[in-house]
Amino acid sequence: MLTGADLLTKVKELGDVSKSDLVRACGYVSSKKDGTERLNFTAFYEALLDAKGVNLGGGSAGLGKGGRKLSYVATVQGNGNLLIGKAYTAMLELNPGDEFQIKLGKKAIRLIPVGGTDEDEGADE
């Protein structure tokens, strides 16, 4: 897949071709399970915008499932669990098995990575 200046050069070089041919020629193609071709238009247009210096909000930061904006609000579920959600753990680059120490305050919960300190983790607040 072409990116940056190479992508812009190829687009100019191809001139007036169909959008499908353009996406295909720039390498934004994958194979479906049945072996047929899938053109990745979204990835192509995102790379094209990036190559032209257009920033649409820095990628997925602040976006959750389906591209919805994160609310930064968690609700206690009916069973008493408090679910944080994959979008938040992905933003923090957390992995399955990462452990946290739970610190309880007055109506507050602080999660501190095992081996970390309160001060290390409070810089983003």
Domain segments of the chain as ranges: 4-51, 64-93, 95-125
Contact call for residues 40 and 28 (beta carbons, < 8 A): yes
pTM, rounded to two decimals: 0.45
Q: Give the model's pLDDT for residue 58.
A: 52
Separation CA 86–CA 1 (nearest Å): 28
pLDDT surpassing 80 at residue 119: no
What does the mean pLDDT of the chain come to? 81
Separation CA 18–CA 60 (nearest Å): 29
Share of the chain above pLDDT 70, in %: 81
Provide mean pLDDT across the span 33-51.
88
Q: Give the model's pLDDT for residue 83.
A: 85
Contact call for residues 25 and 10 (beta carbons, < 8 A): yes
pLDDT surpassing 70 at residue 20: yes
List Cα–Cα distances, 76 to 79, 84, 107, in angstroms: 8, 10, 13
